Structure 1
Amino acid sequence: WQAAAASARDHVQRINGLLGDPARLRQCVSTFFAQYAGEDKLLQQHEAVGLVGSLAAQLGVQNPVQVVGVAQLLFYRFDFDGSGELDEAECTQLVKFVLCKVRDSLAPSTGRKSCNLPRKDLQAEYDVQRHLGQGGQGAVYLAAHRPSGQQRVIKLFAKANLNAAVEHVRQEFDTMQKLDHPVIARVFDMFEDSTNIYVVSEPYFGGDLTTLVSKAVDNGVQPTEGWVGKIFRQVLEGVAYLHSQ
């Protein structure tokens, strides 16, 4: 038992070492990508699975069958453009996700304790006002920022029940924090305490399109084709901005 535990810790350490060095990870993926991709520099599913398996073997992962299975299941999730193949950037994201999954299966607590996020007391900085919703990843609350009095939305992710690796939550935060567009909710902060991770963002109270149409009718506005078109234009402008980033 002790030998197995030591082996698991060793594998977790190797995986964390690679995940913690983005330049090394990209170089590692790039090397294998050149071996598996054809002249079109794209990977089909079986090629991506082979790449992930080879990388796992290089890291000495104990159960390569598990790694291959995860890669096969997740292939199309990382086919962001729907082409049926992965380019090098998409493949890198797949590799990162698979490594996080394997790492957390070997030692769930090890991957989740090292968040390296600012540590704050939620109640000291925010006045939590009401519960807005619940999802597979955690809960969402409306709160007031005590220093400014401004309203914020706080997403709470319990570390013990985190379905996604911390790296992916943080990556999403880092990406969202860089965005600056009037139709995309801004993200202000991300921090942790001993049990939870918190992501603080701008509240949007408009609701979905059905709610918007109902509110328009209630206020004497006729939702014509042109009116709806302007709404969709805003949505598409936001999507175009995201793709430009």
Structure 2
Amino acid sequence: MHDVSALAGRSVLDCVVDLLRGTRAQKRKMLRRYGERWIWLGEDLLSLNWKSKKRGVDQGRLNLTKVKKLRSQDRELTVETNDGRKVGLVLATKEESVTWLTGLSCLVPKKAKVTESNKLLKERIRYDPLRDSWRGRAVSTRKHVNEYIMLGGIGRGSFGKVKLALSTADKRFYAVKVILNVKKNGVSESMSNREEQAVLRKLDHPNIVRHKDVLFDPDRDGYCVIVEYMARGVVMDSSKLEGVKPLSEDGVREIMRDVVAGLEYLHYQRIAHRDIKPDNLLRCGDGTVKISDFGEARMYDVSAEDPRAKAAAPGTPAFIAPELCVSERSPKAPPESYAADIWSLGASLFYMVYGRAPFLAKSVFEIYDCICTQQLRFPDQPKVSRKLKDLIKKMLIKEPKNRAKLQDVAKHAWFGERVAQREELKKIRITPADVENAIGKASWKIPNDRTSDLADSV
């Protein structure tokens, strides 16, 4: 139903996904004054949210179910509610204002008055997302797995594609990692370990990506891993090992606060991630950074002896700790890999502020040798603070027993004040029922009764 959208060539679903990512806007204050705010659509699609750069200053939430008027005029978007609240937002362009109007128009009550440049949008009351499209392709033609409509690709991992999906059950967007030919591709055995999958589904922390479902297709030896959709994607693409534009030191500090808090939670649960890198740090609409991708994780409370312990080095070569490198010069690894997470986080910190990995070479095995033997050197540019350099040095000590502990990182002077948890950490507990229900069966539905194998369907 493209006629519902107030933008030519863009559907309502296209606009809604944009709203989840958020944007900067000027929020109207008293006496014709404005202040810059970050605005975003809540993941439950029920709220318009905003916050200031300054912590604790004008953070707000507007319930979309109470909206009675929604109007776009030039660059300004105005929202009024039944309880007398009125929010005025000025976007960067008129097109952006109309994008927000279009996305919100089908999320507010049908009786609300919605206008664009004084033109009433009547068609919105007949809006049906199943008759809409995403990126030019009708939703009705998309394939389903269980309750999830696979809208289209948003990325690619080491073992498969990542799809954006819409749940017909809770009406939320999710990211679905589709992994094919598990045995052939040598995918980690943890994928079929019900205890480990039960643990992942129990993880509950604001800086850990939530795991919703794991579905297995025995006929195709494939898995679908359904996780929280992180609308703003990776904090930094680290596929290139050098020559990347660095992030600001202040911006990296805020990222690190979130990651340290999330890693502290994982270690408290006796889980080592073992693949910390910028590509596995994702940002949601409100800017919160979360740790993702647990394919290399070790869960020490689940299995005392890891069947993968003698496999190839885990993680990504440029960010891997010396004790996990495949090298004759590698130091002895401790029984548990918590120190390796500190190294990988330090290497990620180095990458984000300098735009390159701390140790470079032409081949993977040369990188391993460099990590184990080369002295850490800081580039001349960009200039960073002495406190940051001190933190990186302590995190990138080659001998794991001498490396900074996570609590040392959390209270380092570079942060100003200790990285704090929002709530007291609690140990998770899994029941026999959690384990039994950890992995479901994938049931594919092909529109129009077309037949296809799993590879075609993704």
Alignment TM-score, normalising by the size of structure 1: 0.41
Give the structure with the higher percent helix.
1
Give the structure with the higher percent strand.
2
Rg larger for: 2
Alignment TM-score, normalising by the size of structure 2: 0.23
